[in-house]
Structure 1
Amino acid sequence: MDQPHRAEYSRPPLSTPRTDLSSSPFALRLVRTGIWSVCFFIFYFVQQLAELLAPLLLIAGVLWKALPAVVGSLSHAAASADPQARDAIGSVASAIPSHIVIAGHDLTAGGLIWDGILLMALAAAGATLATVAGKNV
């Protein structure tokens, strides 16, 4: 009787080079680490800058938004007081601007609040991206 044809399978030798990242040349790993390090620096720098400026803009916007209401309540309280004090408070209330134009940029109280919130979101994104970049270094 004839034996059925058997396929012969051979195992690759144990000394076959692997093609994963761990066998890449040293220079390639060094360049990869350098790129991830620069990305980590940029993300972390943006995060730190946003964490510094966000509270300043947010507080400045809230104070600017609340200032006319505070001065208005003072003028109502001073209405029964001295007329000179009432006039002084009225002139201060009229001197508070609703917007300021600096170098062509229109700044408002609501705009500063919104910018502070956006900078907080940017700080969170920078922290997330810095963590991802740090794990890849």
Structure 2
Amino acid sequence: MDASRDSLSARRTSHSADARGNLQRWLPLVRIAIWSVVYFAFYMAQQIAELLAPLALILGVGWAALPHVVGAVSSSAGSVDAQAHDVMSHIADAIPHQIVVGTHVLTPSGLIFDGIALMAVAAIGATLSAIAARSM
């Protein structure tokens, strides 16, 4: 009776040791897979932010400056020709202050803010990608 009990206990011990061995073998692979997904997400966010940030910032600054530039040109053209002044003032009035696309309202200051916010997202993404790469 003791021999069969010892044999059964030895089998249970070896089975639990095999299960722990399998878990220890798979745990690093699961950890690497999770960190790879996290690294991918941060790096993808960084790349998209780095692509869109300068576009939004330049469009916002250009759109904000355009009425002032056209106004300066129209005032200098007004001293030369009254008809040119009328055309330039009409063009300056045609520049919209906001554009509505679906439910989104685009403004020059909004684009500038979005460009700066996307730069911050790119910096955070780069930092978190570096941390994730070190953790792998």
Question: Secondary structure of 1:25's partner?
Answer: helix
Distance 2:88 2:105 in 1: 26
Question: Secondary structure of 1:101's partner?
Answer: strand
Ranges of 4+ aligned residues in structure 1 off by more than 2 Å: none
Residues 102-131 of structure 1: CA deviation (Å, up to 9, x unaligned): 111111000000000000000000001101
| Cα displacement (A) at 1:85 | 1.2
Distance 2:27 2:46 in 1: 29
Q: Which has the higher contact order (CA 8 A, sep 6+)?
A: 1
Aligned residues: 114
Superposition TM-score, scaled by structure 1 size: 0.81
Superposition RMSD on alpha carbons, in Å? 0.9
Distance 2:33 2:75 in 1: 64
- Letter matched to residue 99 of structure 1: Q
- For 1:30-109, what aligned pairs fall within 5 Å after superposition? 30-109=29-108
Distance 1:58 1:103 in 2: 21
Partner of 1:130: 129
Residues 26-74 of structure 1: CA deviation (Å, up to 9, x unaligned): 2111000000001001100100100010000000000001001101101
